[in-house]
Amino acid sequence: MSLPEQLLLSDILRRRVRCDQGLDHGAGVAAWMHPPVHRLLGWISKPSALGDRRLAWRLNQLRGLSELELFVRGEAAVTDLPTVDRLPTLIEAAVLGSDDEPIGQVADAAIDLSSGRILHYLISRSDPRLPGTSRWRLQPDRIVDQQPGRVITGVRSLDDLPLAKASVRQQFLRRSRRWRDQVQEETTRLRDQFQQAGDRFEERLEGWLDEPPWDEANPPRRAGSEAWDHWDADDDERVDPRERQRQREEEDPWI
């Protein structure tokens, strides 16, 4: 029964009005608003399916709500259909972008119930009566000008506005773009890793080819080379076997 701080205009219009005497005054059919200051003054209900009689309710008459009903206090102002049709409203007005091209239609509005201030409008790209359509939030300060049936904004497209509710198609497109971005990021990361590994391997290979496999100060010795003769003859492990045999013959003439 208690009132929330905020409520959508569509939530008000879809509920039936019940007064403090328990009488049913029908469901809401139109908004009673003051577009220049973006404020909701009340709403209009249709008490009977026949005739042009309408009832105007002030927003401050609202006392509570349930899932299907609005509970009001006091009496409504009786009016008729022609008068209701002349009430100024931005609901169902065409939304124009910065290039004066239509980008959507005003489908709904978020209302601060304590003051009636319109916090933001909900814009639909297609017919707002179609179920499951996406909604974009349009702040009142982004409206450049407003005329009967037209709202002129400074945005280029609906993609410049925050998305309030995504349709199934819009959710699929967003998820597809997110998956594509994730795949591209992972591909780029792996490609960079392979590139870095290849660069490190190439650097190591070039370094191995540029450096000799031995110490340049102590090159390897080969039997019969000139450097072999300058080795220490006292080192048995490094003396040429032929030189060892010649030394034995000189020491022992009987051999």
Indicate whether 163 and 184 sit together in one domain: no
**Domain assignment of residue 24, yes or no:** yes
What is the structure's pLDDT at 254?
Answer: 52
Q: The domain containing residue 193 runs over which residues?
A: 169-208
**Domain assignment of residue 234, yes or no:** no
Indicate whether 23 and 78 sit together in one domain: yes
Give the model confidence (pLDDT) of 155-172 as tens digits. 998 889 998 876 445 454
Decide which of 85, 102, 134 is a domain's last residue: 85
What is the structure's pLDDT at 228?
Answer: 46
Indicate whether 38 and 98 sit together in one domain: no
Indicate whether 164 and 174 sit together in one domain: no
Judge whether residue 123 has pLDDT over 90: yes
Q: Give the CATH number of the domain where residue 40 resides.
A: 2.30.30.240
Judge whether residue 47 has pLDDT over 80: yes
Handedness of CA 175, 176, 182, 186 (dihedral sign): positive
Indicate whether 42 and 54 sit together in one domain: yes
Indicate whether 101 and 75 sit together in one domain: no
Give the model confidence (pLDDT) of 188-207 as tens digits. 777 877 777 777 777 776 66
Q: Domain total for the chain? A: 3
**Domain assignment of residue 180, yes or no:** yes
Q: Which residues contact 88 (CB under 8 A, 6 or more apart)?
A: 33, 34, 35, 148
Judge whether residue 46 has pLDDT over 60: yes
* Residue 255 or 11, more confident: 11
The mean pLDDT of the chain is 81
Mean pLDDT of 76-98: 93
Distance (Å, rounded) from C-alpha 52 to C-alpha 42? 19
Decide which of 62, 85, 108 is a domain's last residue: 85
Indicate whether 10 and 34 sit together in one domain: yes
Indicate whether 44 and 34 sit together in one domain: yes
What is the structure's pLDDT at 214?
Answer: 54
**Domain assignment of residue 40, yes or no:** yes
In the structure, what pLDDT confidence band is assigned to residue 177 with cuts at 50, 70 and 90? low
Indicate whether 100 and 146 sit together in one domain: yes
**Domain assignment of residue 127, yes or no:** yes
Contact 131, 107 (CB under 8 A): no
Contact 9, 111 (CB under 8 A): yes
Mean pLDDT of 67-80: 94
Q: Which residues contact 143 (CB under 8 A, 6 or more apart)?
A: 151, 152, 153
Decide which of 58, 85, 112 is a domain's last residue: 85
**Domain assignment of residue 26, yes or no:** yes
**Domain assignment of residue 246, yes or no:** no
**Domain assignment of residue 238, yes or no:** no
Judge whether residue 232 has pLDDT over 80: no
Judge whether residue 231 has pLDDT over 60: no
What is the structure's pLDDT at 227?
Answer: 46
Contact 72, 32 (CB under 8 A): no
The C-alpha angle 34, 39, 40, rounded to 5 degrees, equals: 85
Indicate whether 77 and 115 sit together in one domain: no
Tell me if residue 145 falls in helix, strand or coil: strand
What is the structure's pLDDT at 210?
Answer: 62
